[in-house]
Structure 1
Amino acid sequence: MYKAFYGLSDNPFSIAPNPHYLFLSDRHREALAHLTYGLGETGGFVLLTGEVGTGKTTVSRCLLGQLPDNTDTAFILNPSLTELELLATLCDELKIAYGDNPTLKQLTDHLSRFLLDNHSKGRNTVLIIDEAQHLRPEVLEQLRLLTNLETDTKKLLQVILIGQPELQLLLKRQELRQLAQRITARYHLLPLNEDEIALYVLHRLQVAGRFEPLFTRKAVKELQKYSGGIPRLINLLCERSLMAGYAQSRVPIDHHMVRQAAAEVLGEEEPTQNRYLWPTATAAALFVAFGVSYWLFTDKPVNAASASSRGLESTPTNVAPLNMQTLSATEETSKFVQPADQQNNQTTQSSIPDPSQRLLNDAINQSRDIDTAFAGLFSVWGKVPYKGLTACQSAVEQGLSCYQQQGNWMSLTRLNYPAVVYLVDDNQQDFYGAVIAVDGEQLLMQLGEQQLWVDRAWFNQHFSGTFEILWQAPNLPMMDISQKSSPGQLQWLENALAHVNNRNARRVNQFDVQLENDLKSFQSQHGLKADGIAGNQTLVRLNLYLSQQGPRLTDNGVRS
């Protein structure tokens, strides 16, 4: 219904599992690593727990995709079974034939012969049980007895138990202590934090074909507050927020829409636990207000070094506001410099506002609207945004594309494009700036109508992790490059990776191990899924480095 409105090719927030939308946060990767380690040569039981909707099944499916080809797997989704039913289900999963009305001993004998035969063929056998908190103690004990079949070095049956936190309590029971001692690896999967939620939402939007930002930073904060970091709830809230935005014909999705979605999906205006914080918050606010009033009306000495401690080079050089309409990347800009001896000698002064700090605060207050920051970015490209269109729509009308990325100082400077950056002030209020140039450890940033040089420490303190660039995307269609691609496509990929890594390109005519490893390394370094397939997101990132069009941070020159 709303896909065309947002420029989506698919529904990005469906709660149905879809491998194309697989997103592995650092927590999920760590969980996957624990499971993989637990399925090492020694085998045994592996335990993965987590709250409902945290992505346990996603991790298990990802693990299945990474198991070697010589592995036979049995996946049991409904473990509310008796001992006999569980062994029969396991035989069905492994395609082991058995007669009518088998006994427990007959099923155990069939499974033992299968495991021994598999081991003689050099094959492994893995049993994965989802929702394992529903297993009965006697069924778990039967599984333990089944894993008694072993060689001198390994278990012949490896079992992965996946369940909710109640599974941990179940395994602490006295009669299951022997099984608990056989767990070789365990991991409790926690919900996503705010930064991971932002990456999760961005990832799903990009897979669905939208690279233009859609959710504001405040909206992400609301997603974290109402969902608690549970991916399933995030999907429900995002889905309902998109419907609300479509109904109102509004872009981007802001925190008000997320709150409305939470009221509809969860049936409450705010998380229950936050309601009990209001008395404390009110008392704290009154205390802070009293302290501020006391400070304002009491003469106190001010340390002059405090202005520069934020990382802004703060000297009282006369600075005139720059006109946004006439600003270009080559114009003379103001630079705040405070001599080191002045910083060391000037320890106290009367409570006169620091002019450089006042100038900075004024610039920040002029930068609350992201469109102002985009106007500065368009100016660097020698263009202006169109009235009545969003910044990215204006870019498309002028032959450019928007690209949003999550990262840090290194991500921004390595990409080397002027960018709009999402920032947060000392009061946790959003503001936006345009990064125009970089000089060593300093960035030339435009805030409102003012250009200021800021250092790395100040930038890292205020940067929220999101930035957007304009670039001239290639007109040619981007087709996935993999093992089955033509020699010409493989050579292009080798040339692109060599260019990024500043090395000489090799002659390739097949997707060899070195090309695959270089591709996976590039994907890992840029937060992409390291699957060894150059899909749309990987190709966009490579073309960003290959493009010769437009200004760059290091030289501010337009490449032809």
Structure 2
Amino acid sequence: MVESFFGLKREPFSIAPDPRFLYMSDKHREALAYLMYGLRRGGGFVLLTGEIGAGKTTVYRHFLEQLPGNIDVAYIANPKLGVTALLRRICEDLRVELPPHDQYVDPIDALQGHLLLQHAQGRRALIVVDEAQALSTDVLEQMRLLTNLVTNDRKLVQMLLIGQPELRTILEQPVLEPVAQRIVARFHLPSLSEGETGRYVAHRLAVAGLEGEMPFDPLALARIHKLCGGVPRRINVLCDRALFAAQSGGSRLIDSRIVDRAAAEVFGRPAPAAASPRAVTPAPATAPRRWPAWLALTGVAAAALVAGLALAPTIAPALSRSVAWMAPSRLPMIALPAPVPASAATPVVAVEPAPPPTMSAPTVVTLANASSTALNTSPDAKASATTPALAASAGTQNASLDALLAGGWTDEAGAWRALASLWGANLPAGTDPCGAALKQGLHCYRGRGGLAPIRELDRPGVLRVVDARQRVSYVVLLGLGGANATLRDANGNDLAVPLAQLARAWRGDYATFWKAPAGYREGEVVGTTGAVAPWVGERLGPPAIAASGAASAPGADETLRARVYAFQLAHGLEPDGVAGPLTLMQMNRESGVDEPRLKR
């Protein structure tokens, strides 16, 4: 096989989605920040465009993961729907009750009544349209009319349009001027630069398990960029074929000649290089943007950032969501680097939604009499990340909530030992779980809060649950879907629990394991210096701001702190510029560190 020939553990360039290969570049984080900024505006249209395969779906998936739990999403995958079919699909996704087709009712009236009721309960609606360049003028006009559904002080619905570059041209038509005027944020994803293409290829090979020399020589990487135009999906196809061609010829080094032969097979002819389009800011500007907007917008104080003023870590709590158990210690103000042209961003893999793999697993117990109104803090369309340890269910049996609570561990140490087995660790009975785990390279983390940050961490954990008689027990969280959580009890049963019922027993206590980088000491708060700082800088990729050449530019320490701060904002963490355990866990997740993930 190609993988064994090159010393890889898994296929590195599959076009199938695999969260382990996901890496958000600076441009993709910037796009995510624009989307979050637009969401905070609370109405109108948010626009995300990019070339085919540039990573729009990657940004959208991250955006979905960071949505607050009070936002309901209607996802339109078929832009060819007519006005009536579109309205019905929106009503279906938002769970608006409509009469049968033979009983006419204006769907807009039904939708407005539903949205008003949801607004009274503190909820909002977001309508997402993929491949929006295919929308007809009539449908776009109808979507504009939907944005007119308002209360006295707030719009009831917001639109996110995702499409190819021609969507921008379509919206410039005079007939669609009313739609264009309602765009509150927009961003265009450019293709990868030549340097980014090389880093992108190296990243995928590293995640696939490459430990030796890079198989692609520099000229081959340059040729790949030219042939693929910096589009990640095309890069995947070409590199996959090049590895096969090299293995067939018995060569572990891939040069430009092998790349050309592979290109002739997969493309038929060399593909033209694509120019990197310019990113579009959310408001007109006469001067070119010099600050990475994902630092400015996510901090809310864009003017202060452009002026190079100090940025306090308290200015963006709304963007980072309510994450009480994430709260790190507050630090002094962060002096951001002076505004100079941004350097190259880190490459990213373009991923599209796909069903998770099916694997064998223990029996799943479904609670009887489950509530039909289970909490829905995440749309079902969210991307899933599964591992062999957390596989799909095989069978079901009924159980009551009391039986679930009674089946949990009465001692927390037992739950810790079960959790450790998912990491491949064995904690002896009678020992301190965290102390024993530390000897095997695992650190303990404890927190308290809600499900949203647990979704973001995407790792199994121990939950403390309390029954009606205030008896405490512990269960292991294996999965977290849109309406159910999968829990393992002390008897080895996997329990599918509606979130509404879990909320009756769980008070927010959460604990988990994580793998720290080499040199990390237990309890250490990683700043901008020390043994772990280089690891943090490497995971963040090249600086988005070049500090040299500016009289007021800070040193490398402050540059790294600003980059950590921006990373935290883009991932919904409490921003302080210091890489604590939660930030390091997120970096592990993005860089493909082998850790168990939650079943969706």
TM-score tier after normalising by the smaller chain length: 0.5 to 0.7
- What is the CA–CA distance in structure 2 between the aligned matches of 1:166 and 1:228, rounded to whole Å? 18
SS at match of 1:186: strand
SS at match of 1:209: coil
Structure 2 contact 54–232 (Cα < 8 Å) conserved: yes
Which residue of structure 2 lines up, in the alignment, with residue 168 of structure 1?
168
- What is the CA–CA distance in structure 2 between the aligned matches of 1:273 and 1:40, rounded to whole Å? 33
Identify the structure with the greater helix proportion: 1
Structure 1 contact 47–185 (Cα < 8 Å) conserved: yes
- What is the CA–CA distance in structure 1 between the aligned matches of 2:528 and 2:522, rounded to whole Å? 10
For these two proteins, the number of residue pairs brought into alignment is 329
SS at match of 1:532: helix
Which residue of structure 2 lines up, in the alignment, with residue 268 of structure 1?
269
- What is the CA–CA distance in structure 2 between the aligned matches of 1:9 and 1:519, rounded to whole Å? 37
SS at match of 2:106: helix
Structure 1 contact 481–489 (Cα < 8 Å) conserved: no
Structure 2 matches for 1:147-166, cutoff 5 A?
147-166=147-166
Residues 1:478 and 1:488: Cα distance change in structure 2 (over 3 Å): closer
Structure 1 contact 478–539 (Cα < 8 Å) conserved: no
- The AA in structure 2 aligned to 1:97 is E
Structure 1 contact 41–154 (Cα < 8 Å) conserved: no
- What is the CA–CA distance in structure 1 between the aligned matches of 2:270 and 2:43, rounded to whole Å? 48
Structure 1 contact 218–255 (Cα < 8 Å) conserved: yes
Residues 1:122 and 1:205: Cα distance change in structure 2 (over 3 Å): same
Which residue of structure 2 lines up, in the alignment, with residue 227 of structure 1?
228
Structure 1 contact 481–533 (Cα < 8 Å) conserved: no
Residues 1:273 and 1:209: Cα distance change in structure 2 (over 3 Å): closer
Q: State the Cα distance separating 1:79 from its structure 2 match.
A: 1.1
Q: State the Cα distance separating 1:179 from its structure 2 match.
A: 1.0
SS at match of 1:57: helix
Structure 2 matches for 1:117-132, cutoff 5 A?
117-132=117-132
SS at match of 1:244: helix
- What is the CA–CA distance in structure 2 between the aligned matches of 1:105 and 1:493, rounded to whole Å? 63
Structure 2 matches for 1:127-526, cutoff 5 A?
127-212=127-212, 213-269=214-270, 271=272, 484=461, 495=522, 497-498=524-525, 521-522=578-579
Structure 2 contact 44–184 (Cα < 8 Å) conserved: yes
- The AA in structure 2 aligned to 1:116 is L
Gaps of 5+ in 2: 276-342, 344-438, 447-460, 462-510, 533-567, 595-600
Question: How high is the TM-score relative to the length of structure 1?
Answer: 0.52
SS at match of 2:41: coil
- What is the CA–CA distance in structure 2 between the aligned matches of 1:273 and 1:175, rounded to whole Å? 30
SS at match of 2:75: strand
Q: State the Cα distance separating 1:28 from its structure 2 match.
A: 1.5
1:369-403 C-alpha deviation (Å, 9 max, x unpaired): xxxxxxxxxxxxxxxxxxxxxxxxxxxxxxxxxxx
Residues 1:487 and 1:37: Cα distance change in structure 2 (over 3 Å): closer
Which residue of structure 2 lines up, in the alignment, with residue 19 of structure 1?
19
Q: State the Cα distance separating 1:143 from its structure 2 match.
A: 0.9
Which residue of structure 2 lines up, in the alignment, with residue 64 of structure 1?
64
- What is the CA–CA distance in structure 2 between the aligned matches of 1:243 and 1:529, rounded to whole Å? 37
Q: State the Cα distance separating 1:90 from its structure 2 match.
A: 0.9
- The AA in structure 1 aligned to 2:187 is Y
Structure 1 contact 128–162 (Cα < 8 Å) conserved: yes
Residues 1:520 and 1:111: Cα distance change in structure 2 (over 3 Å): farther
Which residue of structure 2 lines up, in the alignment, with residue 34 of structure 1?
34
Structure 2 contact 225–273 (Cα < 8 Å) conserved: no
Q: State the Cα distance separating 1:265 from its structure 2 match.
A: 1.3
Q: State the Cα distance separating 1:42 from its structure 2 match.
A: 3.3
Residues 1:538 and 1:60: Cα distance change in structure 2 (over 3 Å): closer
- What is the CA–CA distance in structure 2 between the aligned matches of 1:480 and 1:236, rounded to whole Å? 38
Structure 2 matches for 1:520-559, cutoff 5 A?
521-522=578-579, 532=586, 534=588
Which residue of structure 1 lines up, in the alignment, with residue 51 of structure 2?
51
Q: State the Cα distance separating 1:272 from its structure 2 match.
A: 8.5
Residues 1:97 and 1:18: Cα distance change in structure 2 (over 3 Å): farther
SS at match of 2:522: helix
- What is the CA–CA distance in structure 1 between the aligned matches of 2:523 and 2:127, rounded to whole Å? 42
- What is the CA–CA distance in structure 1 between the aligned matches of 2:530 and 2:271, rounded to whole Å? 54
- What is the CA–CA distance in structure 2 between the aligned matches of 1:191 and 1:488, rounded to whole Å? 34
- What is the CA–CA distance in structure 1 between the aligned matches of 2:34 and 2:590, rounded to whole Å? 30
- What is the CA–CA distance in structure 1 between the aligned matches of 2:52 and 2:247, rounded to whole Å? 29
Q: State the Cα distance separating 1:501 from its structure 2 match.
A: 5.6
- What is the CA–CA distance in structure 2 between the aligned matches of 1:164 and 1:8, rounded to whole Å? 34
Structure 1 contact 523–538 (Cα < 8 Å) conserved: no
Gaps of 5+ in 1: 275-407, 409-475, 506-512, 541-560
Q: State the Cα distance separating 1:107 from its structure 2 match.
A: 1.3
- Percent identity over paired residues: 41
Structure 1 contact 242–253 (Cα < 8 Å) conserved: yes
- What is the CA–CA distance in structure 2 between the aligned matches of 1:499 and 1:521, rounded to whole Å? 6
Which residue of structure 2 lines up, in the alignment, with residue 89 of structure 1?
89
Residues 1:102 and 1:532: Cα distance change in structure 2 (over 3 Å): farther
- Coordinate RMSD, CA, aligned: 3.8
- The AA in structure 2 aligned to 1:201 is V
1:83-140 C-alpha deviation (Å, 9 max, x unpaired): 1100111112222231221788521122112211221111221111000011111111
- The AA in structure 2 aligned to 1:144 is R
- What is the CA–CA distance in structure 1 between the aligned matches of 2:239 and 2:583, rounded to whole Å? 22
- The AA in structure 1 aligned to 2:40 is G
Q: State the Cα distance separating 1:58 from its structure 2 match.
A: 1.6
